[in-house]
Structure 1
Amino acid sequence: MVEEATLGGKIVVGVDGSEQSRKALRWAVRQAELTDSVVEAVMAWEPPFSGWGSAVPVGEEADLAKRARTILAETVEKAAGSQPPVHIRLRVGEGTPAWVLLAAAGEQASLLVVGHRGIGGFEGALLGSVGQYCVQHSPCPVVVVRGAADHTRP
């Protein structure tokens, strides 16, 4: 196990369970190998909107956070394998995806990596809202990982 103090930096990558986020994670892992960095895989969760003035019942936040952590761990294993070549930390945060990613990046990240659109993205969108916000407000450089080009479109 490599001591984190000897690592070249921290690469934060947004993970939402989508194929685009798995591509971003695989890219981040390859970059971390090249730069002796640690990868911090970040997933955001928000309580579901339950109406005006009502709150999520006590205890449900913990259940949502636990589910998000389980989904994050499964996604990381699916994308990077059970024995990834670099250290990958899992981080689950409550809030909008862009805010959670920017908070993680603000903690001395050398790079923020996102997919070009996530699970809520429109099929033809060049860049999703989370990626757009991160590109505009990140405290560190941002890499937007795109999928294979679709050459059938004009």
Structure 2
Amino acid sequence: MATSNLGCVVVAVDSREESMKALRWALDNLRLGPAAAGAAAADPGFLIILHVQHPLSIATSLNPGSIPSGGPSDVEAHQQRTTDAIFKRALDMCADRNVTVRTEVMIGDPKVMICKATVTLYADLLVIGRHSIRPISWMFLGSVSKYCVNHVSCPVLVIKGI
């Protein structure tokens, strides 16, 4: 599947392999072109790599053992290092491609912020990875990809994990 009328593709990434598979799929299968609404024919499309950080209060309660205990500034620094590592990996994947890439960081609940980003960035397509979660976790936490499929106004492509 290759298309040339996608002006803006948002790929949501995190530290999980499934999100990198989604990025790899987008790089291998999509051709970006002028945006559907109002762009000049010579304007290239672009890929936005989006990472959503959890708010500090949530981040410290999710896995307190992996986060430095020196206070909020240490937690913020840890989150920044994590985001930098995720973007480095993603941008390394994009380096050999002739694709215009931007990175975006948002803070909040990933499923809500990903949906918000597709609106504010005028996305023509959202590409997101889906990882396997246990049924009990799914019942209480839900699925980010499922939430996005049901709440995003642009098309959503879900790349399933192993």
Measured after TM superposition, the shift of residue 145 of structure 1 is: 1.0
After the TM superposition, which residues 47-66 of structure 1 pair with which residues of structure 2 at under 5 Å, given as runs? 47=56, 48-49=59-60, 57-60=71-74, 62-66=76-80
Q: Distance in 1 between matches of 2:91 and 2:75?
A: 24
Are residue 101 (structure 1) and residue 114 (structure 2) matched? yes
**Aligned residue type for 2:45:** S
TM-score by length of 2: 0.67
Q: Distance in 1 between matches of 2:89 and 2:134?
A: 21
Percent of aligned pairs sharing the same letter: 30
TM-score by length of 1: 0.70
User: 1:29-72: CA deviations, max 9, x gaps?
Assistant: 2344254521111111112245xxxxx95535642452243122
Match of 1:11 in 2: 9
Q: Whose helix fraction is larger, Structure 1's or Structure 2's?
A: 2
Match of 2:67 in 1: none
Give the SS at the match of 1:113. Answer: strand
Q: Specify which of 70, 77, 83 is matched with residue 69 of structure 1.
A: 83
> What is the count of residue pairs matched by the alignment?
131
Structure 2: gaps spanning 5 or more residues: 34-43, 62-69
Q: Distance in 2 between matches of 1:32 and 1:81?
A: 13
User: 1:69-93: CA deviations, max 9, x gaps?
Assistant: 3122222035x24333201111111
The answer on whether the counterparts of 1:43 and 1:68 sit within 8 Å (CA) in structure 2 is no
Measured after TM superposition, the shift of residue 25 of structure 1 is: 0.5
Alignment root-mean-square deviation, CA: 2.8
Match of 1:38 in 2: 46
Structure 1: gaps spanning 5 or more residues: 1-6, 51-55, 149-154
**Aligned residue type for 1:77:** L
Change (3 A) 1:70 1:21: same
